Structures are given as C-alpha cells and as structure tokens.
Amino acid sequence: MTLTTQQTWTFALVAAAFFSQAPAAGAAEATAGLKDYSKAAGVEGSLKSIGSDTLNNVMALWAEGFSKLYPTLKIEIEGKGSGTAPPALIAGTAQFGPMSRPMKGAEIDDFESKYGYKPTAVRVAVDTLAVFVNKDNPIKCLSLAQVDAIFSKTRKHGAKADIKTWGDLGLTGEWAGKPISLYGRNSASGTYGYFKEVVLSDGDYKNSVKEQPGSSAVVQGLASDKYAIGYSGVGYKTADVRVVPLSSKDGGTCFDATADTAYAGDYPVTRFLYVYINKKPDGALEPLRGEFIKFMLSKQGQQSVIKEGFYAIPGLIADQDLKVLQLQ
C-alpha cells in the first residue's frame, strides 16, 4: 500500500489496526513503538518548509530540536496555509510541504505533470478539528448538521432550517436572541477546505463568516466576542475558549475532542496532519531530509506534537510510513 492510498484511510480503520495489536491500550499507549532518535552522520545543508498554518508551531519545534543536534543546519519555516505547499514543492522552493488536509487531485496532477510521479505524504500528527466557542458559552453539544446550518448557506448535511441565533440552538435568557458571530479560516487554509468537505458536505460558507489568516486569530476572535463560534485545530485551544462536543448525527452521542476519541474514531472530525515531500519512487532520500523525517516520527519529535496540543502518531503508523520511505 502506498502513502497516497493511505490518505483515504478512515480513523475507524486506523483505530482497528492499532487496537487489534493492543486491545487494552488507550491514548497514553498510542505512542508505544515509536523509536528514540539517534544522531546520524552526513547531515548538513539547509531546509525550507512552506505550507500549513496549523502545523507551523510544530514544524518550528521540530526545526529547533533538529538544529540542536546539527547546529550547522539552516532551517526556514513558513506557514501561510496548506494551499501554499503544493506550488512550493512543484517549484522546488521548499523541501517540505506541511498540510492539514490531503492534497487535492488537481494538486497531485500538477506535481506529477512536472516530475512524472506523485508527491509522497507522511502522516506526522493526529488532530481533532475543534468547534470553539467563548468560555462563557453554555452550549453543551452540537451535531454536524447543526454546525453545517450555522456556517453554511447550503445546509447539505440535512438541517431543515438555517441557524442564526443561539436561541435557534435552544439557549435561553440573554443568549436566546443573540446572533451567532462566525469565525473561520481563509481559502488558502487546509483547515478551511477540510471543514468545508467534512462538516459542510462541500457546501458553501455563509458570507458572514469572518475569515482569519491563521488558527490563532480565530481563537483570539472568539475570546473577545462572547457570542461567537469558530473552528481550528484543537492544538490552538486557550483558556479563553471552550471546545464544543460533537455528534455525527442529530440525537447521537456527543464526543469531546480528546486523544482517546480521536484514536478510537469516535470524534467525527478527526484527521491526519501531513508533511508532503518530493521523492522518486525508487530513489532513496538524502541524509538531510531522511533524518529530519525520522526525527519528526520519533519519540522526541512526537513529544513536540503533544506539546502543541495535537495527538501523537501511533507507532505502527510511523513504522508504515518509514518503511515506505525506506527509512527503516
């Protein structure tokens, strides 16, 4: 199985593979099997990463940790959205293209038309795409159809009516008549695209969504706007906002955005975060890129993922990708 086909795996399948090997395991054991990183010889040169804002802080931590082992390296990190990764990889202006969504077919085709082979995806973290509200908001649970009706004007997830006020969601008192203020990402963002695909069923966002240049800007907006709602990777949570539990259908069980619900496939908006690279199918990676990938998928590298509020890649997933990359 190639990494490009692995992009289509559901978290239910990943969870089944993981828990079949360790049926009693929980989120704390998901990192079992990750290897310690050992410094290698011949690692020199410079690297540039262009892509996801969601992964920007994690990429910076990886660069910092890797540079401590190899002080002569020069590593640049630029995070302006997942949509900037494919063009940078195609142009050769970046060696790594972090993305919070899989590449689209057209992006893969553009890459393949230049190089004659497809880009390679490395799964580097697990993320729950969270729906945030202000910390004072009492809403207890939302279904995906309700979230769609809040953010979308097309309501392809099946809601019968538009949702404009907090009263439309059953809140009373001061909340009942208050319009819902919408915050989201801009169209260059992989989070924007993933939310549109999974939650809006490829429907259209409302014109009233305040598009933000980064995930942290979304959270900052909610912190200062009591009646607001927004979405971003769970790693951007602060004390000023609250994550709303989600259910996949109306009347269904609501699940918090946690490592356990992500690994089990219960939280309905769970995703891999990726780093794409340009690798010839039969060619080996040079030491610089190969070792950086091994560092990202090591115990040390995945500690940075956890530090930023995301969830570590299980050991078996890291092993699969390292094997495909011929790094084992």
CA atoms of 191 and 63, how far apart (whole Å):
23
3-class SS of residue 96: strand
pLDDT of residue 22: 41
Check if the beta carbon of residue 124 is closer than 8 Å to that of residue 274: yes
* Residue range 3-127+272-324 in CATH 2.40.50.100: no
- How many angstroms separate the Cα of 68 from the Cα of each of 34, 74, 127? 21, 11, 27
What's the residue count for the chain? 328
The per-residue pLDDT for 81 is 95
Total Cβ atoms within 10 A of residue 120: 22
Q: CA 37, 43, 44: angle at the middle one, nearest 5?
A: 140
Distance, C-alpha 45 to centroid of its chain = 28
Predicted local distance difference test score (pLDDT) of residue 19: 43
CA 234 to chain centre: 9
CA triplet 267, 306, 232: central angle to 5 degrees?
A: 50
Between helices 56-69 and 287-296, what is the axis angle to 10°?
Answer: 120
| CB half-sphere exposure, 6, CA atoms < 13 A | 17
Residue 291's closest CA among 19, 127, 75, 100?
Answer: 75
What are the backbone dihedrals phi and psi of residue 321, each rounded to the nearest 5 degrees, phi first?
-70, -40
- Please check whether the two domains, 3-127+272-324 and 128-270, share a CATH topology: yes
Spatial contact of 105 and 86, defined as CB atoms under 8 Å apart: no
Q: Which two tokens stand for residue 290?
A: 């190969």
The three-class DSSP label of residue 101 is coil
Instruction: Tell how many helices (H) and how many strands (E) occur in the chain.
Output: 12, 11
CATH class of 128-270: alpha beta
Query: Whole-model pTM?
Result: 0.88
Type and span of the H or E element at 122? strand 120-134
- Please report, for the chain, the start and end positions of each structural domain, with discontinuous segments joined by +: 3-127+272-324, 128-270
DSSP 293-308: HHHHTSHHHHHHHHHT
pLDDT in tens, the chain (328 residues): 233 333 333 444 454 444 444 433 444 565 668 999 999 999 999 999 999 999 999 999 999 999 999 999 999 999 999 999 999 999 999 999 999 999 999 999 999 999 999 999 999 999 999 999 999 999 999 999 999 999 999 999 999 999 999 999 999 999 999 999 999 999 999 999 999 999 999 999 999 999 999 999 999 999 999 999 999 999 999 999 999 999 999 999 999 999 999 988 899 999 999 999 999 999 999 999 999 999 999 999 999 999 999 999 999 999 999 999 999 8
Measure CA 50 to chain center. Answer: 15
pLDDT value at residue 281: 93
For residue 58, give both structure tokens. 């994690």
The answer to whether the beta carbons of residues 248 and 266 sit under 8 Å apart is no
